[in-house]
Structure 1
Amino acid sequence: MNDLDLNTLLGAEDDEGQPRRRSRGAGKRGNGRRRRRRRNRGGFIAPLLAFVVLAGILGGGGYYGYLWLSDALVPDDFTGQGTGEVVIEIKDGQSAGEVAEELERQGVVASARAFTNAIGNAGMSDKLQPGSYKLRKGMSAASAVTMLVPENRLLARVTIPEGRRLSDTLTLLAKATDKPVKEFTAAAKDAGDLDLPSYAKGKLEGYAFPATYDFQPKTTPAQMLAQMVKRFNQTAEQVDLEGGAKALGHTPHEIVVIASIIQAEAGRTEDMPKIARVIYNRLERKPQMKLEMDSTVMYALGKYGTAATFPETKVKHPYNTYRNPGLPPGAIVNPGDHAIEAALNPAKGDWLWFVATDPKSNVTKFASTEAQRQALLAEYEKNGG
């Protein structure tokens, strides 16, 4: 088969799309080769352009991919030491990942992954110890790791209720911290290092402020009591205890004593300002009335309650306000902020007595006359008092 027959069978076309007629002449075959060379040069440019476009696409995509990958590999993290206070408990057997999730949930760290990265970098992933730790919100993950070391574990969280006597407070502290109660008793007697206000006259009763405290392992009993006195001093400053006492014609210590009686006698917070008014009315009455507060008698006897018997009211003791005029020499419990504020801001009224008419509901009612008082006492007895 000759060239013409082969081209005819293949349906070859020229550059304009028409069927080609091949000549047998050498010159014409040479022209055909030159046309093929030109066509081949044009065909090379198209793939080159496609490669350039593809490279651009891949290059742009690579850049944005790099940004995305960087964001994915670098987790969210706070900067600095954070603010506020958060107590985190690490339970026995918890993994670093579980702790990280809890830290993120409570807003300590920005992300759990930032913490796991930081604790891994510090080589502490398997060194977390069970216990409670005090951290802050919005901390960098690295800062959080440095605070979760055994030396920073809180020994105990101790809640001292309002109205507890000092002896009971010392017992609670000893039990919660597993330290001998005699160490607390010794620290309370040697009050020179507790930073008591001068008007406390070296006596801790009334100044060991009731609140919730977190103590670290190396905290001594004296340091614990000093923290409680510090809380009292802070509260005293907030309510302007000294200025308020002066305005009422009393010393700051007398206000603390009054607040302690209010705290011991009140069944409800809302009754405290009225009880304060009864105390002031009896102290200011001419001639002065004895306070006759059962709580002071029970303190003198080392007993509890607010209902002294008739024989008990006859006991000879400086704290027996049935026998002695005026205030007792010191506080009978450690009052909280509500009682202190009530002592500084008594309600207006002419009441001279109050009776807890219903021991079950702690409702207290007030009387201005003896007849009213007797009616309240009858109600008290009717309710099983």
Structure 2
Amino acid sequence: MEPAAARQARQRRRRRVVFSVLFVLLVLIAGAVAYGARQLLEMREIPDYTGTGATDVVVRVEQGDTTSAIASRLVSAGVVKSARAFTLAAEDDQRVRAIQPGYYLMRTRMSGEAAVSQLVDPASAVGRLSIRAGWQLDDVTLPDGTVTPGILSRISETSCARLNGTRTCVTPDELRRAMAENEPAELGVPDWATDAVSRVEPGKRLEGLIMPGNYDVRPGSSAEELLAQVMATSTTRLQAAGLPGEEQPGGFDPYQVLTIASIIEREAITADFGKVSRVIYNRLDERFALQMDSTINYPLDRQQITTTDADRGAPGPYNTYLNPGLPPSPIGTPSTEAVAAAMNPEPGPWRYFVKCQTDGTSCFSVSIEEHSAAVADARARGIF
């Protein structure tokens, strides 16, 4: 039989355990009640609009923006009544953390929840522009008759958005007029190119200066504003590509190097960029006419590897069969690889090249006799 003292001690321990468990439960319950009450009180106190909004407004999200930073931008634009209304609604929506930099079509006076829903909707992203290497400002007709929209047409298309029932678009002609009627510096042309650009045909002044990549343009902007927005981004890309360099090859200025890069881009596949660059510099150094078909096709808005006798005999500033030296401007958008090749041509004695493989690879020659044989062989094999 258990002694009375031991039994009483065991009962006291049991009561202490029970009391401890009850105390912990009471603390947890009290905490939950307090948290819930605080949340309800906070929700009541958070300034917030109701509904899905009033009028359209374009808001920009910058690179590196946090949810709080986005909320502040929305408050400034009149989209939400308070930053907390947005951040509270965004807490349980992981898509907010994946929002990309750029412009978004929102509405003023939206509830925090409605603002979150609209911001994460892919249809709300506007003003997204993508430029590829080799494109030029004007539309281009391919050998099969297909028309490839030029950079101006693509900027025009990207400028469109429906704001409060009105479609806001800037036409390619308006963009051309903006190039012609504004000083290059006003459009964001870098200092090292302004003098040369001012001498270019007005409607082609930004040719070659808009580097490949993605851009964000604000719908509803004027033609001048759109071009300045694009140039602001492109100038940083030109710098990243190495322009202007501390010293350009052959004594050429940065704009001339950019022109050489644009010819390289049109004339060769990437693997041959360095050699084509050397051919250009060798011919310029020896005062040979460049004789590049790409420069002749440029003002004709064509992209093909051949020209006719009539094309080559037609006078014009971009005819490098008749005119010595470089054309007056780039003939398209060069890639960073083409710029690198123009800055650092591959060593070699070549003066000629011709596409000689179906994958676009070129054959390079030192003498006209070697070149003529390579051309004849490529023709015989149906390369062109």
Which category of TM-score, normalised to the shorter sequence, fits these structures?
0.5 to 0.7
- Which stretch has the larger CA shift, 273-282 or 237-246? 237-246
User: Do 1:277 and 1:349's aligned partners in 2 also have CA atoms closer than 8 Å?
Assistant: yes
Superposition pairs for residues 304-323 of structure 1, below 5 Å?
304-323=303-322
Structure 2 CA distance for partners of 1:232 and 1:383, relative to 1, 3 Å: farther
Q: For 1:195, give the aligned amino acid.
A: G
Aligned to 1:272: 273
User: Do 1:154 and 1:217's aligned partners in 2 also have CA atoms closer than 8 Å?
Assistant: no
TM-score w.r.t. the length of structure 1 is 0.65
Structure 2 CA distance for partners of 1:190 and 1:125, relative to 1, 3 Å: same
Q: For 1:190, give the aligned amino acid.
A: E
User: Do 2:90 and 2:96's aligned partners in 1 also have CA atoms closer than 8 Å?
Assistant: no
1:235 positional shift: 2.7
1:206 positional shift: 1.6
In the alignment, structure 2 segments of 5+ residues that lack a partner are 39-60, 67-88, 101-109, 139-149, 161-168, 199-204
- Aligned: 1:195 with 2:188: yes
User: Do 2:249 and 2:343's aligned partners in 1 also have CA atoms closer than 8 Å?
Assistant: no
Aligned to 1:301: 300
Q: For 1:196, give the aligned amino acid.
A: V
Structure 2 CA distance for partners of 1:57 and 1:82, relative to 1, 3 Å: farther
Superposition pairs for residues 1-385 of structure 1, below 5 Å?
50-60=14-24, 84=64, 100-103=93-96, 106=98, 123-128=111-116, 130=118, 153-167=124-138, 168-178=150-160, 179=169, 180-192=171-183, 193-198=186-191, 199-201=193-195, 202=198, 203-266=205-268, 268-285=269-286, 288-358=287-357, 360-384=358-382, 385=384
1:378 positional shift: 1.8
User: Do 2:175 and 2:224's aligned partners in 1 also have CA atoms closer than 8 Å?
Assistant: yes
Tell me, in whole angstroms, the C-alpha distance in 1 between the residues paired with 2:119 and 2:222.
19
Structure 2 CA distance for partners of 1:133 and 1:247, relative to 1, 3 Å: farther
1:155 positional shift: 1.8
| Aligned-partner SS, 1:57 | helix
User: Do 2:158 and 2:217's aligned partners in 1 also have CA atoms closer than 8 Å?
Assistant: no
| Aligned-partner SS, 1:365 | strand
C-alpha RMSD over aligned residues: 4.1
1:297 positional shift: 1.1
Which has the larger Rg? Answer: 1
Once the two structures are superposed, residues 126-185 of structure 1 have per-residue CA deviations (whole angstroms, 9 ceiling, x without a partner) of 455657789xxxxxxxxxxxxxxx9xx532322122111212210122123332222222
| Aligned-partner SS, 1:208 | coil
Aligned to 2:202: none
Q: For 2:189, give the aligned amino acid.
A: L
Identity percentage of aligned residues = 27
1:345 positional shift: 0.9
1:63 positional shift: 5.5
In the alignment, structure 1 segments of 5+ residues that lack a partner are 1-14, 18-38, 75-80, 87-95, 109-121, 135-149
Structure 2 CA distance for partners of 1:59 and 1:323, relative to 1, 3 Å: same
Tell me, in whole angstroms, the C-alpha distance in 2 between the residues paired with 1:197 and 1:380.
42
Structure 2 CA distance for partners of 1:357 and 1:49, relative to 1, 3 Å: closer
- Which structure is higher in RCO with an 8 Å CA cutoff and minimum separation 6? 2
1:219 positional shift: 3.6
Structure 2 CA distance for partners of 1:71 and 1:204, relative to 1, 3 Å: same
Tell me, in whole angstroms, the C-alpha distance in 1 between the residues paired with 2:63 and 2:318.
46
| Aligned-partner SS, 1:311 | helix
Q: For 1:354, give the aligned amino acid.
A: F
Q: State the number of aligned residues.
A: 299
User: Do 1:191 and 1:204's aligned partners in 2 also have CA atoms closer than 8 Å?
Assistant: no
Tell me, in whole angstroms, the C-alpha distance in 1 between the residues paired with 2:120 and 2:305.
39
Tell me, in whole angstroms, the C-alpha distance in 1 between the residues paired with 2:288 and 2:353.
14
Q: For 1:309, give the aligned amino acid.
A: T
1:99 positional shift: 9.1
Once the two structures are superposed, residues 47-79 of structure 1 have per-residue CA deviations (whole angstroms, 9 ceiling, x without a partner) of 56543331123334666788999999x9xxxxx
Tell me, in whole angstroms, the C-alpha distance in 1 between the residues paired with 2:13 and 2:25.
18
Q: For 1:154, give the aligned amino acid.
A: A
| Aligned-partner SS, 1:166 | coil
Q: For 2:130, give the aligned amino acid.
A: T
- Which stretch has the larger CA shift, 60-69 or 198-207? 60-69
Tell me, in whole angstroms, the C-alpha distance in 1 between the residues paired with 2:92 and 2:25.
37
Aligned to 2:55: none
User: Do 2:289 and 2:325's aligned partners in 1 also have CA atoms closer than 8 Å?
Assistant: yes
| Aligned-partner SS, 2:328 | coil
Structure 2 CA distance for partners of 1:349 and 1:42, relative to 1, 3 Å: closer
- Which stretch has the larger CA shift, 246-255 or 321-330? 246-255
